[in-house]
């Protein structure tokens, strides 16, 4: 406060740190004086701000290893670990940090501590639930090949639903599957409900119920699932080339513009569009094959693709004849 430096200190102790031009003399020579914790204009000597906090470490390191060794922080917070990876663990060895044996009194003390620590950590009902749920989440998402960020999101959702007491009376597995399904949809990487249901030991119906509950109670806004989001996965499973994918997306966009997509199962739409594109680009797959990966029936593929062909006016080439009637 009583600092003598920067005689021209004036009212502008601006909080914004992104000023590079000096408001006094207009020169661009504002510099950061880390040693003093000040920002000073080299041109006129005005102190723009002082008593700045140095956010860096207080130690110095001269090599990468040293940097590693001195760092006191660990891995980032992980929501998929039930205690976020933060809880302290009391070692099971009866030695102190120097490796000496503990005195008998100390030993029994540690024993007691350990016991209570374990009880409080894993055995409170919420934590026990979480521990189990996170294990299930890990199992399920690795089986489905769900990437980390989405798992973390699912874990966050699960925590929220525990807070809201949604899990009570429902199976942990069902709730976990529902959060995972929701997380995938939020991140625009939807998986078919059936696929998630198959991978977990929850039937489709239960899963759907939990999912809807989740939406209502946590009031999450989930973008309507877009058939386009499925295209790359399906195309990949059918080993179709990228031109086919592009054409499929194009078809879906045009269908959407024509209002063909409202109220229709996105899976069926994606399947039908892929079918059409695969024929157009001469990489034909059977309705059966496509229906299988999209988890709809051939009939649905057929109905959708008929509509698409009719409405988009794709009656060209080797498309089977189509009748004008309705």
Residue 200 binds to DNA (criterion: CB under 7 A): no
The stretch among 19-27, 96-104, 230-238, 296-304 that binds DNA (CB under 7 A) is 296-304
Q: In angstroms, what is the minimal distance from the CB of 144 to DNA?
A: 20
One residue of 27, 129, 132, 303 binding DNA per CB under 7 A: 303
Distances, alpha carbon 273 to alpha carbons 38, 56, 190, 239, in Å: 62, 54, 17, 15
Smallest separation, CB 133 to DNA (Å): 23
Tell the burial category of 296 from Cβ atoms under 10 Å away from its Cβ (0-12, 13-18, 19+). buried
Candidates 32-40, 110-118, 165-173, 258-266 — which segment interacts with DNA by CB under 7 A? 258-266
Per rule CB under 7 A, is residue 80 in the interface with DNA? no
Angle at 254 between CA 253 and CA 257, to 5 degrees: 90
Query: Does residue 287 belong to the site contacting DNA (CB under 7 A)?
Result: yes
Please report how close the Cβ of residue 169 comes to DNA at its closest, in angstroms. 18
Across the beta sheet with 38-41, the strand order is: 30-33, 38-41, 47-49
- Backbone φ and ψ for 32, nearest 5 degrees, come out as -95, 120
- Of 2, 45, 53, 11, which is closest to residue 25 (Cα–Cα)? 45
Minimum gap (Å) between residue 247 Cβ and DNA: 17
CA dihedral 207, 163, 77, 130 (to 10 degrees): -60
Does residue 324 bind DNA (CB under 7 A)? Answer: no
Sole binder of DNA in the list 47, 144, 176, 296 (CB under 7 A): 296
Minimum separation from the CB atom of position 213 to DNA (A) = 11
Q: C-beta of 223: minimal distance to DNA in Å?
A: 17
Measure the CA–CA gap between 26 and 6, rounded to whole angstroms: 17
| Residue 306 is a binding residue for DNA (CB under 7 A) | yes
Stated as kind and residue range, the H or E segment containing 32 is strand 30-33
Residue 32 vs 265, nearer CB to DNA: 265
Site for DNA in 213-252 (CB under 7 A): none
Q: Are 200 and 211 in contact (CB under 8 A)?
A: no
* Site residues for DNA per CB under 7 A: 204-205, 208, 212, 263-265, 268, 284, 286-288, 295-300, 302-306, 320, 323
């Amino acid at each position: 406060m009583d600092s003598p430096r920067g005689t021209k200190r004036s009212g502008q102790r601006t909080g914004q740190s992104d000023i590079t031009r000096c408001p006094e003399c207009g020169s661009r020579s504002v510099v950061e004086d880390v040693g003093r914790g000040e920002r000073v204009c080299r041109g006129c000597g005005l102190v723009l701000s002082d008593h700045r906090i140095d956010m860096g470490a207080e130690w110095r390191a001269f090599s990468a290893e040293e940097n590693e060794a001195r760092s006191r922080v660990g891995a980032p917070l992980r929501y998929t670990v039930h205690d976020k990876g933060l809880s302290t663990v009391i070692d099971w060895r009866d030695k102190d940090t120097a490796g000496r044996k503990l005195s008998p009194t100390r030993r029994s003390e540690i024993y007691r501590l350990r016991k209570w620590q374990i009880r409080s950590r894993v055995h409170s009902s919420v934590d026990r639930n979480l521990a189990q749920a996170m294990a299930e989440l890990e199992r399920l998402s690795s089986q489905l090949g769900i990437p980390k960020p989405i798992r973390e999101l699912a874990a966050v959702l699960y925590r929220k639903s525990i807070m809201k007491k949604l899990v009570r009376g429902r199976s942990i597995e069902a709730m976990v599957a529902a959060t995972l399904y929701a997380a995938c949809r939020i991140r625009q990487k939807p998986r078919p409900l059936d696929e998630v249901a198959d991978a977990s030991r929850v039937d489709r119906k239960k899963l759907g119920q939990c999912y809807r509950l989740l939406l209502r109670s946590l009031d999450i806004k989930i973008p309507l699932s877009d058939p386009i989001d499925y295209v790359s996965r399906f195309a990949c499973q059918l080993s179709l080339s990228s031109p086919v994918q592009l054409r499929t997306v194009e078809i879906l966009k045009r269908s959407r513009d024509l209002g063909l997509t409202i109220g229709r199962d996105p899976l069926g739409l994606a399947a039908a569009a892929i079918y059409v594109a695969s024929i157009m680009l001469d990489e034909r797959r059977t309705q059966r094959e496509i229906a299988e990966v999209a988890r709809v029936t051939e009939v649905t593929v057929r109905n959708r693709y008929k509509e698409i062909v009719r409405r988009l006016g794709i009656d060209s080439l080797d498309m089977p004849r189509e009748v004008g009637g309705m």
